[in-house]
Amino acid sequence: MKFIVRKEDLYNGIKIVERATSQKAVQPVLYNILIETIDNKIRLTATDLVLTVITTVDAQIEQAGKITLPAKKLNEIVSKLGNELVTFEMEEGGTSVNISCQKSKFDIIGISANEFPPEVYNYEIDETKCFDIELKPFLKAIRQAGFAAASYEVSNLLSGIVCDFSNGILEIASTDGNRLARVREKINSDITEQTQLIIPSRTLNEFMKMGSFIEDETIKVCKDKSTIVLKTEKTLTISRLLEGQFPKYNQLIPTESPKQAIVNVSQLIAALERVSVMVNDKTSIVKMLFADNELTLSADTPDSGKSEDKIDIQYTAEELLIAFNYKFVLDALRIIESDEIIIGLNASLSATVLKPNSEDDFICLIMPVQIR
Amino acid sequence: MKFIVRKEDLYNGIKIVERATSQKAVQPVLYNILIETIDNKIRLTATDLVLTVITTVDAQIEQAGKITLPAKKLNEIVSKLGNELVTFEMEEGGTSVNISCQKSKFDIIGISANEFPPEVYNYEIDETKCFDIELKPFLKAIRQAGFAAASYEVSNLLSGIVCDFSNGILEIASTDGNRLARVREKINSDITEQTQLIIPSRTLNEFMKMGSFIEDETIKVCKDKSTIVLKTEKTLTISRLLEGQFPKYNQLIPTESPKQAIVNVSQLIAALERVSVMVNDKTSIVKMLFADNELTLSADTPDSGKSEDKIDIQYTAEELLIAFNYKFVLDALRIIESDEIIIGLNASLSATVLKPNSEDDFICLIMPVQIR
């Protein structure tokens, strides 16, 4: 195997695929990136057996070959090279690759490509099962409505993000049972029939992080049995889908709230951050008292002390005391792209709605906690 | 107790003294900052019983009193307050302090000031035992020659930094047995007789970090039995001195080196960082071959691979292969304020000298390691 590649191109490729390498692998080869020569390109693949990312990098191929190299060491080496041409060279049948760039030389010991799970990198896409969507609104929707997924095992449905693709509208939602986020985003797509997919949140989060390296305006979304493929010009993100009936979350969202407050987002974030100094670490409970155009926030921990803060809001309904895990409120506030939010309240133990005071069709539902 | 203080002044004071709070205290009160009202000021004190830092902050005193409050919570609260006046209030004989600023209120539970070690904050300075020195060159010298101290227990002499004060010249040195750093800095001082002090490196490192909050041009250095006090207008840094005979390090520094190389500092740092990717984590050994105006660096780890890099240098002496813990070399290179260094070599197992190719009187000695 011998090929020559530009450092910058190779480094971008490594940064894209390394997100899929396993963090705690049963097989050592899953810590590695598979490198294969193909026509005028090299193909990089990494997988943890649930998520697989494949990308191609332009290269001058002198001799065909393939090998897997440890992702971490490879990244370290390539990141430190000068911004020049890099040569990779390996003897036929060997596992030690010589990497050279200007006066720098490395011999790095890999694992034979034959040990890399073949079902992963021989994946074939049935193009008839794909549809195109715009990338930017898709990424925005994931960022807005993907954060509320449960951080359980990947087998639990609530650890997934539900994506409802239809012509013109993309609906994305996630919930961990204590809170729920839903966004509806206008999107150009050539999809013909409505398709609901439950995608593991790790898959979409890693895809979102790769977003900055992807220049494509549209991507292909392909569903094949229990697998989803997100395909850009150079990169394939392949992931298992979660199967089952996702909770009918739209039924949970109150259609109207009897009490409404309009609140400045940055003032509420600052007040929550101050009050949270005295929050009980075990419960994270902050109490909120809505009354007379004022919101009073308070927290306390028995041996440590108490805190209280007030901000001016627009609220003329009946006085209401309600308590939340303040982290859920902060998560929602930090996602909202609006100066003001509307908080829709009902009673102390009713689901509370947060939505931007703007045209954005984003909603976050938070369950309050009981206080004595 | 009741006083009013500007948030910014108080926050600076907390940042100065909190460095002395204990990290693993036997007595909970050592996690706390002692706050005492004095005339038109509050005094803040923190200690871990080896290092004590005391500072004063301008305040409007309404009612005298004192209390200790947990440093971490206090910092968190004050950092998040608006940049306004802050009121501290405590009932006579209480331990719960009410802190208020604009619409923010906190009740924070402290520990009685009576539990704070009294020997620490009733410290009196004998001004006849003090001399003045310029602050800036003192801080520069600590930064340059303090890094080589051993990170042993504070009782070991090598965990100290030796400071030799005399009229016009300050000499600072530290060594952990494998390397040694020494600097001689011109300094204005009114010292009358030469004084050698061995100061715990933690004391000087914390003092160096406080440097950015200190506006004084000169400070007082006071030695009283086994205690040193560094006194600025507002702040006292009090520390135990280490006692014993520090190794006669000047005798260890070779007066001349038979082989000399002139090397670009940033090129050598970059090459060391690249080569170190393949360093054996247990030994950190990088080999250096000096020959024909070229330096070849190399490293290897049995199961991982090898690395090699070359840089152009000025070196015409006989070829020499020598090996170092590369971290010691990097530490020295990152301290040197010069584009080029002179490396003074003798033989593969002789102490090697690194010094800036400039007027600065700084020298770093590194012991090589044996290679087979």
Instruction: Give the pLDDT confidence of A196-246 residue by residue, as tens digits.
Output: 999 999 999 999 998 877 888 999 999 988 899 999 999 999 999 999 999
State the nearest Cα–Cα gap between B330 and chain A, in angstroms.
16
Give residue B169's pLDDT. Answer: 92
Question: CB–CB of A308 and B106 under 8 A?
Answer: yes
Chain B residues 57-86 with CB within 8 Å of chain A: 70, 73, 76-77, 80-81
CB-facing half-sphere around the CA of A99: CA atoms within 13 A: 31
Q: Among B273, B308, B311, whose Cβ lies nearest the Cβ of A80?
A: B273
Give residue A269's pLDDT. Answer: 98
- SS3 state of residue A138: helix
Residues 6+ apart with CB under 8 A from B319: B289, B290, B291, B292
- Backbone CA torsion sign across B64, B69, B75, B76: negative
Q: How many CB pairs under 8 A join A and B?
A: 84
Per-residue pLDDT of chain B (372 residues; tens, 9 = 90+): 999 999 999 999 999 999 999 888 789 999 999 999 999 999 999 999 989 999 999 999 999 999 999 999 999 999 999 999 999 999 998 999 999 999 999 999 999 999 999 887 777 888 888 999 999 999 999 999 999 999 877 678 999 999 999 888 999 999 999 999 999 999 888 888 889 999 999 999 999 998 877 888 999 999 988 899 999 999 999 999 999 999 999 999 998 899 999 999 999 999 999 999 999 999 999 999 999 999 999 999 988 999 999 999 999 999 999 999 999 999 999 999 899 999 999 999 999 999 999 999 999 999 999 987
What's the average model confidence in pLDDT over A301-315? Answer: 96
Which has more pLDDT, A127 or A273?
Answer: A273
Q: Is B109 on the interface with A (CB under 8 A)?
A: yes
Q: Is A129 on the interface with B (CB under 8 A)?
A: no
Q: Give the best residue of A103, A279, A298 to mutate against chain B (max B CB count within 10 A).
A: A103
State the nearest Cα–Cα gap between B249 and chain A, in angstroms.
37
Q: Give the best residue of B81, B267, B277, B301 to mutate against chain A (max A CB count within 10 A).
A: B277
Question: CB–CB of A311 and B103 under 8 A?
Answer: yes
Residues 6+ apart with CB under 8 A from A36: A42, A43, A45, A65, A66, A113, A121
Q: Among A103, A273, A307, whose Cβ lies nearest the Cβ of B309?
A: A103
Question: CB–CB of B106 and A306 under 8 A?
Answer: yes
Q: Tens of pLDDT along A27-52?
A: 999 999 999 999 999 999 999 998 99
Q: CA–CA separation, B261 vs A115, rounded Å?
A: 48
Q: Is B186 on the interface with A (CB under 8 A)?
A: no
Q: Is A309 on the interface with B (CB under 8 A)?
A: yes
C-alpha of B159 from chain center: 12
Q: Among B80, B271, B277, whose Cβ lies nearest the Cβ of A77?
A: B277
B107 interaction partners in chain A (CB closer than 8 Å) = 278, 305-307
Share of residues in chain A with pLDDT > 70 (%): 99
A104 interaction partners in chain B (CB closer than 8 Å) = 271, 274, 307-309
Helix H or strand E encompassing B140: helix B135-145
Question: CB–CB of B80 and A311 under 8 A?
Answer: no
Which one-letter amino acid corresponds to residue A91? E
Residue B151: closest CA among B200, B198, B196: B200
Question: CB–CB of B107 and A273 under 8 A?
Answer: no
Q: Give the best residue of B106, B108, B303 to mutate against chain A (max A CB count within 10 A).
A: B106
Q: Tens of pLDDT along A179-192?
A: 999 999 998 888 88
Biggest alpha carbon distance in chain A?
79
CA closest to A271 among chain B residues: B104
A310 interaction partners in chain B (CB closer than 8 Å) = 103
Q: Is A281 on the interface with B (CB under 8 A)?
A: no
Q: Give the burial class of A256: count Cβ atoms within 10 A of its Cβ; 0-12 exposed, 13-18 middle, 19 or more buried.
A: exposed
State the nearest Cα–Cα gap between A194 and chain B, in angstroms.
48
Q: Give the best residue of B80, B275, B280, B286 to mutate against chain A (max A CB count within 10 A).
A: B80
Q: Is B107 on the interface with A (CB under 8 A)?
A: yes
Residues 6+ apart with CB under 8 A from B314: B261, B262, B263, B293
Q: Among B271, B305, B309, whose Cβ lies nearest the Cβ of A109?
A: B305
pLDDT at A122 over 80: no
B308 interaction partners in chain A (CB closer than 8 Å) = 104-106
Cβ atoms within 10 Å, residue B208? 15
Contact A46, A27 (CB under 8 A): no
Pair type for strands A361-366 and A130-134: unpaired
Q: Is A111 on the interface with B (CB under 8 A)?
A: no
Domain pair B127-250 / B253-366, same fold:
yes
DSSP bridge pairs for A134: A218
Contact B332, B366 (CB under 8 A): yes
Q: Tens of pLDDT along A255-276?
A: 889 999 999 999 999 999 999 9
Question: CB–CB of A109 and B307 under 8 A?
Answer: no
pLDDT at A154 over 70: no
State the fold for domain B127-250: DNA Polymerase III; Chain A, domain 2 (3.10.150)
Kindly provide the b/e burial profile for residues A128-161, where b requires at least 16 CB atoms within 10 angstroms of the residue's own CB: eebbebbbebbbbbbbbbbbbbbeeebeebbbbb
State the nearest Cα–Cα gap between A121 and chain B, in angstroms.
25
State the nearest Cα–Cα gap between A100 and chain B, in angstroms.
9
State the fold for domain A254-366: DNA Polymerase III; Chain A, domain 2 (3.10.150)
- SS3 state of residue B48: coil
Q: Tens of pLDDT along A324-361?
A: 999 999 999 999 989 999 999 999 999 999 999 999 99
What average pLDDT does chain A have? 94
What residue ranges do the domains of chain B occupy? Answer: 2-121, 127-250, 253-366
Superfamily of domain B253-366: DNA Polymerase III, subunit A, domain 2 (3.10.150.10)
B109 interaction partners in chain A (CB closer than 8 Å) = 303-305
Residues 6+ apart with CB under 8 A from B26: none
A366: its two tokens: 């938070």
Question: CB–CB of B103 and A273 under 8 A?
Answer: no
Give residue B154's pLDDT. Answer: 65
A273 interaction partners in chain B (CB closer than 8 Å) = 80
CB-facing half-sphere around the CA of B116: CA atoms within 13 A: 25
Residues 6+ apart with CB under 8 A from B8: B83
B304 interaction partners in chain A (CB closer than 8 Å) = 70, 73, 108-109
State the nearest Cα–Cα gap between A82 and chain B, in angstroms.
10
CATH class of the domain comprising A2-121: alpha beta
Question: CB–CB of A270 and B81 under 8 A?
Answer: no
Q: Give the best residue of B287, B307, B311 to mutate against chain A (max A CB count within 10 A).
A: B307
Number of helices (H), then strands (E), belonging to chain B: the values are: 7, 25
CA closest to A99 among chain B residues: B307
